[in-house]
Structure 1
Amino acid sequence: MTSPSNHLPLIPENVAKAHALIKPYIHHTPLLTNTTLNTIASTPQHASDLVGSHWEGQNPASPRIRFYFKCENLQKIGAFKARGAFHALLRLIEERGEEEVRRKGVVTHSSGNHAQALALAGKTLGIPTFVVMPSISTPSKIASTQSLGAKVVFSGSTEPERTAVMHQIQQETGAIFIPPYDHPDIILGQGTTGLDMEAQYEELKGREGKSLDAVLTPVGGGGLNAGVATWFSVPSKEGKKKTLVFGAEPSFQGANDCQLGLAAGERVQAVSTKTIADGLRTPVGLHNWAVISDPSKVAGVYSVTEEQIKKAMRLVLERMKVVVEPSAVVGLAVCLFDEDFRRKVEKEAGEAGWDIGIVFSGGNTTVETIGALFASN
């Protein structure tokens, strides 16, 4: 990666510079709306849905919500990760020169979307790419990474095992490490999602200066959430309302490490979970935590159950006809099922309601996986 002395500050201006750098290499993904999901989100939950929760016996919230879905599931390699990978590799080439980076190559460790994203960036820019993938990685993601020209080296599933194999590759080749999420170049690249979303929203509304009230993104390593929060950290135009940014996580087996860390006042350093939202099984990185734990940048992080994730995913598949992976819908699930969030919208927005941006972070799943996920329903 670029050296610490060459790190760019995490400010909106540098998100804009990142966007200018990667724009020739990424898709301009659509911002979609859906009246049916607006209606469902704006309808109070049944009292029976609150049984067993700390909201049991209370009147369900009745917020007014209008969704705007940023479809990064339609991004190159099927996920937002292409943004950060291209930005990180282009910045590295700027710093060290194309000849040195091509001679040494780059290396990362990833079980899925970052692996494919860096493989694509390396193929596009002519840079040899090594990817350490756990042997238990999804076969389709392994095949995709290999088809993009990366040399895949298998490892055990734990972080130390992956890191050990990566260090061995570095010793043998001199390859330069590009982290999956915990680096300013990655964060700024992912933040271009927010820049695109804001511009598309203004165009859709036909009114410059109109702001999204809130944006929700999934939180795994935290690159997407930290990047989007960086873009929205200040209003982009004078007199414009600030867009609030929230994070969303699965609650299964402690996968909501960011939410738990915020409550405890310190970052959770390790996560061990088998949540169906497999892209969110990672602890929040250090650079990312510095942004997400700042309440002036991220207004809160919420979590949802496995069943709520499945319900949200089913709605997207059936009502929007859009293919997403479970990780992509945690933000939508928060809006549909988390009474704390729904009450916040009801209280702060009143009759006017909120225009809420939801980032569909990826769509890298298979027919077999979707079938197995809903086989018991």
Structure 2
Amino acid sequence: MPSCSFWVCLLFPHQAAANHNNGGKLPVMVSYTVVVLMYLLAVCSTQRSQLYTNAFVSRSSSRVFRVMTSSALSSTTMEGRVGLDLPTYEDVVEASGILKGVAHETPVLTSRTLNEKLNADVYIKCENFQRIGAFKFRGGFNALSHLTEEQRQAGVLTFSSGNHAQAIALSAKLHGCKATIVMPSDAPKLKVKATKGYGANVIFYDRFTEDREAIAKEIQQKEGAIFVPPYDQKYVIAGQGTAAKELFDTLRADHGVDELDYFFVCVGGGGLISGCALATHALSPKTKVIGVEPEAGNDAQQSMEKGEIVKIACPATIADGAQTQYIGPMTFAIMQDKVDRIITVTDDELVEGMRFFGERMKIIVEPTGCLGIAGLQKMVSAGEIPAGSKCGVLISGGNVDLARYCELVNA
């Protein structure tokens, strides 16, 4: 296995730097500075060895937490979904307008090496170049855009392992309101630092022994903040769906591709794949939407197979963005209707994805962000993807501590 220094020399000369201060279209490739490169080499050398309405929770309401309790998880029949104000493609279009000039229009990249290896045409939507380094900014900003002035004055609250935390922190800053974020104590330091850097108040908890929902509920009752769910909320889902809409717009404008055969999207709580499925169903209805989650955290796969939301223990996986224990009622309803299949991959397969993106495409991708490419490669290896298929892959984010990145790719 090449040394970590070898990987870093290959990785970073052409890495794009996401602009966290300005919206608009992001240049496809921007070189890192020499200072950053030298820092990375030094680091690596030391590492060798939900709501049932379209509104947010009122100050006195705790309904959002009831949505996520075990009793609510059984409401998976069509009758049980009555009252769920599910987003539609029209909501995705509206969100696209709200995000225009604020969110980055992230690039769609291709790799001849990858196409030859998989015998397919692969188009990679790079949300690791989005503001805050992940797709979550789309849903977070769109959600806060629907708050009233009174609600903004109350401040916002959420819980997250990192990317949604950053999204709400930055979105709150842009909307002029305060944010409180409940984060696991083992969240990546990079994500914690960024969340605090955007001005949010961060409260830590132990994800294996403490209940983040109970902590958030206590804060909400004390401070009256407006809770913004990480995934199971109409405007959050619609915002995430703009990534898929943008992908298809780019494919048609720049690549002459009208439809995809397959679209691979990572699955955590289901917000991203739900929104993307809405857009895909409207813009490329023949496309098979494939969700990919960690083998250790296959709650979505189990839920789809059993026809009801399955809750699991906190999964032990390097994909920290997919360490959710269950999907939401809203995301589950959309997934049942518009997602074709859920598959799983191992942590080792995620690391292989990180290595490929780094070595061949010169981009940094966090473990969770590699779920899509790992899922595609797994299905190709199993002979489930016909030769010449047009496949979309969504990279969800690139927020990974540099030391941790080196540790994983050099293992």
Q: TM-score, normalised by structure 2?
A: 0.77
| Matched AA of 1:72 | E
| 1:165 matches 2:209 | no
* AA aligned opposite 2:278: T
Instruction: Note the alpha carbon deviations across 1:293-326, whole angstroms, 9 max, x for none.
Output: 22xx111111111211111211111000011001
Q: Residue 259 of structure 1 corresponds to which residue in structure 2?
A: 301
CA contact (8 A) 2:188 2:401 kept: no
Residue identity matched to 1:29: T
Identical-pair percentage? 39
Q: Is the 8 A contact 2:54 2:235 kept in 1?
A: no
Which position in structure 2 is the counterpart of 1:69?
124
1: CA distance, partners of 2:294 / 2:197: 31
How far apart are the structure 1 equivalents of 2:268 and 2:175? 27
Q: Could you report, residue by residue, the CA deviation over 1:1-30 in whole angstroms, capped at 9, with x for unpaired residues?
A: 987165864221211011111223211100
Mapped to 1, the partners of 2:371 and 2:152 lie a distance apart of: 38
Name the CA distance, whole Å, in 2 between partners of 1:158 and 1:101. 32
Matches within 5 A, 1:228-377: 228-234=276-282, 236=283, 242-252=286-296, 255-282=297-324, 283-294=326-337, 297-338=338-379, 342-346=382-386, 353-376=388-411
8 A contact 2:159–2:183 mirrored in 1 = yes
1:212 equivalenced with 2:256 (yes/no): no
What amino acid maps onto 1:31 in structure 2?
Answer: V
SS of 2:393's equivalent? strand
Structure 2: distance between partners of 1:82 and 1:174? 24
Query: Residue deviations 1:249-288, cap 9 Å, x none?
Result: 1113xx1211122223322123421111111111211111
Deviation at 1:184, TM superposition (A): 1.4
Q: Aligned partner of 2:327: which letter? A: V
The aligned residue for residue 117 of structure 2 is 40
TM-fit CA distance, 1:108: 0.5
Deviation at residue 158 of structure 1 after TM alignment: 4.6
> Could you tell me how far apart the structure 1 residues matched to 2:209 and 2:136 are?
20
Give me the whole-angstrom Cα distance separating, in 2, the residues matched to 1:271 and 1:88.
Answer: 29
Q: Is the 8 A contact 1:271 1:281 kept in 2?
A: no
Equivalent residue for 2:145, pick from 75, 81, 90: 90
Paired residue for 2:252?
A: 202
Using a 3 Å threshold, how does the CA distance of structure 1 residues 241 and 222 change in structure 2: closer, same or farther? closer
Counterpart of 1:4 in structure 2 is: 53
User: What SS does the corresponding residue of 1:4 show, helix, strand or coil?
Assistant: coil
Q: Structure 1: how far apart are the matches of 2:407 and 2:118?
A: 27
SS of equivalent residue, structure 1 residue 322: coil
1:224 paired with 2:267, answer no
Q: Which residue of 2 aligns with 1:48?
A: none
Unaligned stretches of 5+ residues in structure 1: 43-64
RMSD over aligned CA atoms reads 2.0
SS at match of 1:269: coil
- Structure 2 partner of 1:54: none
Q: 1:194 to 1:274 in 2, by over 3 A?
A: same
Quote the Cα distance in structure 2 between the aligned partners of 1:8 and 1:331.
28
Corresponding residue for 1:106? 156
Asked if the contact 1:245–1:300 (Cα under 8 Å) also holds between the matched residues in 2, the reply is yes
Shift of 1:167: 1.9
For 1:158 and 1:166, locate their aligned partners in 2 and report how far apart those are by CA, in whole Å. Answer: 16
2:96 paired with 1:27? no
Give me the whole-angstrom Cα distance separating, in 2, the residues matched to 1:74 and 1:301: 26
TM-superposed CA distance for 1:337, in Å, is: 2.3
Change (3 A) 1:102 1:12: closer
Distance 2:214 2:285 in 1: 47
Native 8 Å contact 2:293 2:342 kept in 1? yes
The answer on whether the counterparts of 1:131 and 1:153 sit within 8 Å (CA) in structure 2 is yes
* 1:189 CA displacement: 0.6
The code of the aligned residue for 1:261 comes to S
Q: How many residues align?
A: 333
Whether contact under 8 Å (1:109, 1:131) holds in the other structure is yes
> Structure 1 residues 241 and 114, CA, compared in 2 at 3 Å: closer, same or farther?
closer
In 1: Cα distance, 2:353 partner to 2:318 partner: 13
Match of 1:57 in 2: none
Alpha carbons 2:317, 2:323 under 8 Å: kept: yes
CA drift at 1:135: 2.2
- d(CA) in 1 for partners of 2:124, 2:322: 19
* 1:119-176 per-position Cα deviation (integer Å, ceiling 9, x unaligned): 0000111011111112222222111111101111222325853222212221222101
Q: Is 1:150 matched up with 2:200? A: yes
Matched position secondary structure for 2:104: coil
Deviations 1:206-228 (A, max 9, x none): 46xx2122211000101000000
Tell me the SS of whatever aligns to 2:121: strand
